[in-house]
Each structure stands twice: as C-alpha cells, then as structure tokens.
Structure 1
C-alpha cells in the first residue's frame, strides 16, 4: 500500500508546476496567505480530481444528475482515494432538512419509538384486537333466541370485486327481507350460518374474501327480522386509536416526514407553512394611509381598488390621513378580507394563484408570504399520530417530546439508556456535536438558517463519526467560528479519524497547524506572487507590524431597551456611536438574527420608516439614538455563487473605466467605437464564434466534454481587430491581464478609482487582475472583494453591520482589515462586527447574554 498521495506537476490557477505529497492516514495542513494557491491545490486539484475520476468510473445512468468537475491541470495523482469535502459555504436552500437530518439521526430516533411485528399498539400500549373476531363478538351480542339464520351481506360492488359467481340470495330493501337473488338489490349475500355456528364466521370470511377492501358489512337476522350494520377492520387494530382517530405505525416510514403517511398533513413534512403576511402587504405602517402605507394598493394592477378601500374605511369612521399602525385593529379585516365594493387583498391573491404557472406570478406571491411554524406539528414535521408514539426510553415518553429537544437535552435524556445499540450510535454523534458547540440547537433547526460556521460544524459531526477506512477528507478551514477550546476538540476527533483515513485541510488556526502531522506552506505571496511550496514546516509567528489604535470611547450611544426575541428577553443592548463595536456571539445564527433582523431592522424603520426584513417577529419597547444617522448598511459574509463571466473588474466597477479609456483613444474615435466594442459581454465586441467565452466546447455523449481555445479569437473572447487596438503600452487584453497596482500607474484615474486602488493595496489585493474570474478566487480573496465592493463609496455618518469578516484570513491580513475599518470610523461611521476573532477584542466589546 502507498504511504502517501503524490501530486506531480500541479498547474491549477496560480500554482507553478509544483510536486506535493500528503502522507496517508495522517493529518496534513496547508497554510499560507490568502490567494497564495492553497485552495487551488487542495480543492481545485486534489478533491475535484478525485471526485471527477470516481464519477467517471460510474455508469452514465448513475452520474447523470451529478455535476462532474472539470479536469485539473496536473500531470498525475496517485493513489486516488474516495473523497469527502467540506467547503466554506452553506449550500442548503430548501426548508425540509433540519439538524437531525444533517447528523443522520432522524431514522435512528424513529427506531427508538417503533417495534416491528408488534402485537401491541405503539401509542396506547394495548394489545391489538383482531378485526374479524371483534365483528364476530358484536354479531353474537345482537342475537336472541328467536334468531334462526344469520345472513352475511356486503355491497354489490364489493361482492363483484372479491367473489366470482353469483350469490344465492340478496336483500330486498323494499320489503326488508331476504329473497332469492335479484341483481338489482344493493346488498348481496356471501354466506349464511346458524347462530350456534357463529364461531365459524372468521373461517368462512377468510375463505371467500381474499383482500382488505371490504370496510363495511350487513347482517340480516332471520327470525328476529332485523338488519344490522357493522364496520369491519380486517386487520388487527387498537380500539382506542379508532376512537381518537389516530393510527399506530405499521412500518418505520410511518414515523418519518418523507412520505404521505408519516408527514404532517398541514405542512407536508416541512415543519412550516407559507401564509400571506400583513407586514409585507403594508410595508410602511407608520405612514399615513393616504401617503402610501399600504404597499399592495400602490401596485398598478390593484391601484384602481384604492378608492373602494378608502370608501369602506370611511364607513367605520377611519380617516385616510390616519397612520396605519394607529388604526390597524379597525381596518385590518376590511383590508385583508374585504367589505362592500372592496374585495379584499386575500381575494385578489387567491385569484392570482390560478396563474402560478407563470414564474412572475410565483415570485410576486412568494414576496408577500412569510414562513410560519406549522401549528399542527409545531415544527416537528410528522403527523399527530406519529408524535404520540411511545418507546421504551426511561426519560422520554413520546416521539413528539423527543423531537422537541435540543441536542444537549437529548444527550442527557438518552444517556441513561446508553446500553441500547441504537442509543449508543446516537450518543456518539451527539457527543461530538455538543463538544463542537452545537448543544443548544434544537433537533428541528432548519439547515438553511445556519451560518456557514454552524453548517460546517454540523457536517463535521458526520465526518468525524465516520466508521469506514481508506477515505480522503478535504476540509476548508474547519475551525471557522470556533474558539480555542472547540478547535482542540476538533483536533482530537481529527486525530481519531486519521487512524484509518487521510485528512488534508486548509487552515489558518495555529492550534490545528501545530497539531497536524504534516505541514505545507504555499507562497510566498498571493496571486502571481504565490503558487510555490515555500516550506514543509510552520514559520515562526511574526509580530503584526500594524498596531491597532486604542479603544475609542464615545459619549453617544444607540440603546435598545426591553427586547423580546424568539423566547428570550434582554433588558438593554447598547452600541457606541462613531466606534467599532465587536459583538461576541455564542450562537452565530441566533445573534445575527437578533442584531440584524430585529435591532437594526427596528432602527431602520424608526429613522427611515422602512423595514428591510418583514418576516422576523420581535418586540422592542424603547429605542434611543443620536440625530444625524444617514444610512444603515448590512454586509453579510457569504460566498455566493458567481458565473464564469463575473470578474474582479466587473465586481469593483474598474473594467468599465478601462473600456471607456480605450473607446476614447484617437483611433477608436476615428472608427466610431463605443465601450461595448471592448467588452466580450457585448454583442458589439464579443467573438461571434464563441460568444465571448474564449473557449469552444464539444459535448461528448459518453466521455467528458472537450474544451479548447477558440480559433477565431485566440481565447480572448473579443473580435481580433478590437483586441489589437493599443494605446502604445497596452491592448485591452494586456490591460485586463495586468495587476491593478501596475495598470493604474499609467492609466488616468478618477477619485473613485484612486480610492478603490488604495483599498485594494490596504487589503493586499492589488496583485489581482481585472480579468480574474470571481469563482477562481480563494475564499479569503472573494470575501475581501465583496467587502470592498460594499464599502467602496463615500459612506459617512452611517451604521455599517459586518458579519464574520475574519473568515479565510491570516492575522496579518486581518490587521489590514482593522486599519480599513478604523478609517471608516473617522468619517463618523458606526461599525458593528458580528465576529468572535480575538484580533477585534481591542474594540468596544458587547457580549449578548
């Protein structure tokens, strides 16, 4: 068996034909400055190539729906192991998946409350009653001494479905007696027995009726001259369940939300429902009705109904000059359900639902809906019957109680049953999750609501509890959002995983770097200045040269009082104005919702009469802030999907300036050229063969698609003539391939361009070229470009909320970020950082408790 994974001749992105080895069954850590080529080596080459080769080994019918990665620029990789990768983003957008699904314990939890082939009801604990025996007993109870013969009847349709041949007798409903068979009668006889032979009822029924389709039967008692009707359960059943209209599970899937039987009928197994929200229909409740408070009636399609609405509210004594929030109780029913000549908003929307086949209609309707917890299953996704199931656990009574617990509560309650094999398996995963800081999350937490660091932790639980061997785990900054204690826990479990598997990670954490068996440093710089292996051991920690200024104390504060949010209450939360405020979060997603969707959402509405979030429910009694706040900016650190045509130049609005420069050259003016002639995204300039892509693709039915540079444009994406126009130094192609720090030394600039270049230098991004595609950037590079794009404007006297801006960056790069942030406070801005990194601890710290 090979002792290491060997990569030879790696040239992906900025890597310079390097050779690398990763020891098998060890932990390898790749480090270096952001943009040096770490992700290009580990993800774009090792992980993607391993995945590509595995998928290509499968029949086409199996990998049809899986996107096969493109070939990496590498001479050889040996051996190629099955790969599991942990990317730096949360890809979940659906509403069904939750924390229990992510930890892969949903099925095991259902098993604890299900017993296959049980003879007892799993809800009430009673023994099942045989349906035929029950009917036999009920018939016996109705017999008297006068009864001579029992005629057993079923409906005509059921008879034809179950029995071949015609009966001897049928029941005449007019004379209410048994007679010789008449096909027009509705009740046909299947058999008859004497009262003393009632014990033969079950045997005769089973001989004639082969399936369970008959639910009702009738019995005519000759001698008593009575017709009796009985409901028939042909299988064993629980009488209590029948009365309460619930059903004991007959198979494990009845307790899971992925099918029609187990799922809650109201929310279809999602745990939440969509309903029209008055807060989205009336977006400006503090405005007067006549000034456009009701947004819905401002739309052109529905504006003609505004006069009818005004007429109706006047009838109940409400003036159009009233603020909506002051008269909401009096007119909400009229607005939503209508009155008189005004039909009501809900009726308009129900009518529009008939056009849901149109994409625009679906988007519009969804924009007016909010997701609410299902009132039937209380967010637990399964049917009421499933929630009632009882197991044999000592501390948890019902399945519904189990699904309502947090991970920590579930661990504590299951621990007493740890001898059970299934419980032991669940506890092993819960132990890892709790040690990684996920203990406070409810089992039903939706995955799409998690922050990147929380999603990574939840996925790590699955990886770290892996029981197999011979696999490769590729992790991109697994320590995101973790404190030093959690990083030590992660390292402990990674060492356990690496006994039988190979772990390769990109990491800036010193704890994980020092705990790794093998270290590789990529550098020395970023972009074209990196791409080389500069060391196989960790460099000494260098002191950060840029000294952070001392904590600023401000006399002015933004104060929120008596806050109620998601079941928690805060007496007071304060932010200092004109300084940097670090909010230390304990549960990233919760604290982000509190600060962004509640606190500053309320402040935005109070200052500008407009919310930016209409779905979050909260209460804030009092709010104090100084005058002069001009704007509120929210910057969320998320690596979002980008197209291959999205570049650094387009993201920072630099490419337009360069194209404008070339369009104003004398030769361009004489030819009447416009900016579009120098853009591969414009039909004026793009190559007509490859449509600006620079490459041509051949779709192969069985093998991988083949791509090669376009022969017409030489891979530039531009028409040859326009690509050859020069100012004496650069063509447009040369300009886009030149680092921005060098390019704008010669090209004329504007104050905005100068500011952007200064920011790029401060953030160590001035090595980037304008044609560098956004998907090819590393996580740290992409986040810094996004940050720069958000603040690259004259922002003053504003509030800027930033989340997790330390992700993917080394301590030296973070010091540059701090310098940039301090420069923003000098313009009167107030910064709020939702980030736990210690580099920000020198600022005003707020701990939400």
Structure 2
C-alpha cells in the first residue's frame, strides 16, 4: 500500500490523515516556503537505503502539495474518483521526473533526438529510478492482428531471426554461409595442407571466338594457363583446342597449401573472386593431374574434381542464389515473408464441400450440388449437365459412387496444361 506522510517541520509529529488513503490526493494542503525548504532538506538528507520514492510538495495540476512515499519493488495502485489527480501524480509527476532524469544522463548530442517532458511542479523527489509508462489504449484490430503484433513482440522477432537464421540450399540441402577470402583460406589450409592446388575462376568466351584468339587475349591480361577438360592447358601452346565451351576456367595461381603461403593464398582468392564474379574453384593437383579431394565447404565428401566456393548467399555446388535473410522475410505482413497460400492472413477462402454437396447420395441430375438448385442458379445447373455430358459423366448415379476423377471435374472444372482453370472471382 502507498504510505502517505504529511510533511511538518518536526517529522516525529507526523500523523495519518483522517480521510481514506485512496482519496488523499483530494485533501487540500497549503505549504509555506519554510515548509517546502524543510521538506526538500529532509528528502535530500534521507538515507539512500530507505527503499522508496519520496515525493514532497507535489502540486502538478490539481494536486494540492501532497507528500508521500512509494515503496520500491512493490506494486502500488493509485485509485480515487475522477479528478482526484491520479494521472497527474502517476504520469505528470512520477513518470515525468523519472523520464526527465534518465534523459539527462545522455550527452547533449543524444538529448536532442529524445522527447523530454516538462519538469513537474514538485518541491523534491528522491530515490526515483528511470521510469516507463505503458499506454492504456484500445488497439484497432484487423484481419492481420495477432498477439505478436498487438504486443509488438513481432518487431523484435523480425530483428532477431535474420541474425540466428541458417540458410540451406533447396536443391542439395547444404548449408549456405556467406564466405570471405579469409574463410575460404581457412577451409583450404585445414583440409588440404601440404597439397598443391589450382585457384581458378570462370570467364565467358565471346561468341564466334576461336581458341587461339581467346588464348592471346588471356596472355595479354597476364594469364598463361587454363583448366580445361581436367587438365592444364597453356595459352601459348601451338596446338590449341579445336573449340571452347561457353566459358573456361582460368588459373589464377598454383600454390602449395601451408601456413607460410596463407597471405599468397588469400591474395589469389581475392583476385579470383573479383574476376570470377564471386565464383571460384579450388582444384587439388599432383603434377598436371587432378587429385580428387575428400571434402567440400561443409566438410562432407565431395565426389567432383573441383571444390567450388562463392561469396554471398549463393550455393556454389548448385550455382543457385538465395535471398539473404532480412527482417521482411520473417514478417507475414511483408510480401517477402507472407505465406504464398494465405498471403499472410492466416486463412484461405475455399468452398466447404460438406455444405455445397451435403447429400452425396443424390445424383447430379437430382441436384447433388445444393447451390445450383432453384430458379436463381438453374442456368448453372444446366451448364453443369452439359459439361458432364461432354465428359461422359453419369449424371444419374449417386455423387458418392462417381469415380474420383469425375468428382474432381464437378468440383474444380476443366484442366488446362495439367492445372485446373482458375476463376478470377472465386480463385478456383
């Protein structure tokens, strides 16, 4: 319960008010300047471990210079009739002072971006911690309102999930992590230490360009070797291949993997990633022959000769880009994160077949489709009978005895390109 104290010059003679505690704010009380000085001095001189918020001479709005102590760590309820000063005490005095003192702890630069409340009319307040005020409001409910949106928990979840989310390739189910040259170098040194490897990147071959002309271009750029059909081909060879594919792997460097060569490895990876548009291969070799590696980026067995790596949110094995995790992907109110089936509403509009066809012992001719009965929908019943005759569906047999394909035709209509034709109005 809230403890009420009437400030006097002699605090030992303080007495309880004759009126109920809940109406204490209504009691008029005049405080002379001397009394205010004494109250403020007593508040400042009070021990810090009293464990309460001490308020002296609160005169905000219709408060009449009240004094009270609010215990910390307990729930205090302020009650009273309308106009007694409940909001003036709770929000415009206690909360305003707690929020004002908290904002004052920031630098002047930060304070200009924060909302500050006016200093309340009070003689002294001691022991008040930083305060928060929860607004009592009747939120407008919508079809997208959930417990998460109304409590604003979703806002924090949207920020948390992109940081803890793990992405997997939908094709090969390998985990996808944004790689860096340093991260790729760590994996290569860990798994291929002591081995000779080629660092290669793909480059597109212009249309109608023969091998000799393309190799001359590579030599002008400072590249002397390419990795083609599982072997190293020199660009200055007198017998270039008869034809090249749409793209060729250019050898950026050949390195023996060791801790001493880490800086050279990282430099080669950075250059290859830049020219290869964030796509590279690491090829373990012995002499001029490829040695099949025993790992991939996730440490699993890799049956291919080249070990692909890539930067960003990309599966190097499947050459598949995925969207990076962002808050929008984890919000059903965003087109990016909304369910494609319900579009973020959490429900779909569909036909209740138990109500559309309540009695399946009836035939189509007898009106098994309930909504097509009567004069208003009689034309739709005639259309259904004509369509069934075209598809050779028995309209006199009970609906429940019809084959599954015939029932699907009655419910969903005709198929086009293997899919049921959608109606713009009904979505079917």
> TM-score range, shorter-chain basis?
0.3 to 0.5
What TM-score, normalized by structure 1, do the two folds share? 0.21
User: Bigger radius of gyration, 1 or 2?
Assistant: 2
Instruction: Return the structure number with greater relative CO, CA threshold 8 A, min gap 6.
Output: 1
What TM-score, normalized by structure 2, do the two folds share? 0.39
More helix by share: 1
